[in-house]
Amino acid sequence: MKNVLIIGLGRFGCFTAQKFNELGMQVIGIDADETKAGAAIPYATKILIGDCTNMDFMKTLGVNNFDLCVVAIGDNFLASLEVTSLLKDLHASYVVSRASGEKEEKFLLRNGADYVVFPEREMASWTALRFSSEQIKNYIDVTEGYAIFEVTIPKDWHGKTIGEINIRSKFGINVLGIRDAQFPMDVTMDISPSSLLPVDGSILVLGPTSRIRKVFHL
């Protein structure tokens, strides 16, 4: 089981704690504000109250024993930068810091962050893409220029098999799953040329973003 230290238990830190907890990880949460810290109690093994810009307090945490440290301070950039840098000085093995602007992202990476998350930008980009077309049901960026989309099955594909349409050779995209609208909670992942595309449903496809947009007229 991995153990994670989350510094800053505002909404972002608290949701992160909840998700890590659901994933079976051991969560220790810290906040300078007792009221904020309270919200994370159900998701953490231990909650500590303290100012993480204070080196003496940080030294007591044994940050090098955590598999992952998340700096979830959003508004106070100076505090976020100081905490990130202190974590690295104390030999934290992997530090993920939260940025709210591109300049901040750069500074954090130069001062000890191994990875920077930019929730507002990531969520904004997802929201714009997800709702840019009624055909898009879900979307995940895989790497630059490649994505997984869940899209409504085009009308002229209804009732045909993957092999009949010859999706991979003809369009250069891979079908990863099929969701029949009659059973919306299930996604068939066992895809073969004989997999049938339902009249009402969606498919998960992986490929170059530009190609997927073209094929499905997104």
Name which of 36, 82, 74 is nearest 55 in CA terms: 82
Q: Which helix (H) or strand (E) holds 78?
A: helix 77-89
Name which of 113, 5, 2, 106 is nearest 57 in CA terms: 5
Phi, psi of 211 (to 5 degrees): -70, -45
Nearer to ligand ATP, 12 or 149 (CB): 12
Residue number of the CB atom closest to ligand ATP: 10
Shortest Å distance, C-beta 129 to ligand ATP: 23
Nearer to ligand ATP, 48 or 187 (CB): 48
Shortest Å distance, C-beta 30 to ligand ATP: 6
Nearer to ligand ATP, 40 or 173 (CB): 40
Shortest Å distance, C-beta 190 to ligand ATP: 40
CB contact at 8 A, 58 and 92:
no
Nearer to ligand ATP, 8 or 201 (CB): 8
Q: How far apart are CA 166 and CA 106, in angstroms?
A: 45
State the residues that interact with ligand ATP by CB under 6 A. 7-13, 30-33, 36, 51-53, 73-76, 79
Nearer to ligand ATP, 48 or 206 (CB): 48
Shortest Å distance, C-beta 11 to ligand ATP: 3
- What's the helix, strand, coil split of the chain in %, to 5? 35, 25, 35
Query: In 10 A of CB 194, how many CB atoms?
Result: 9
Shortest Å distance, C-beta 205 to ligand ATP: 34
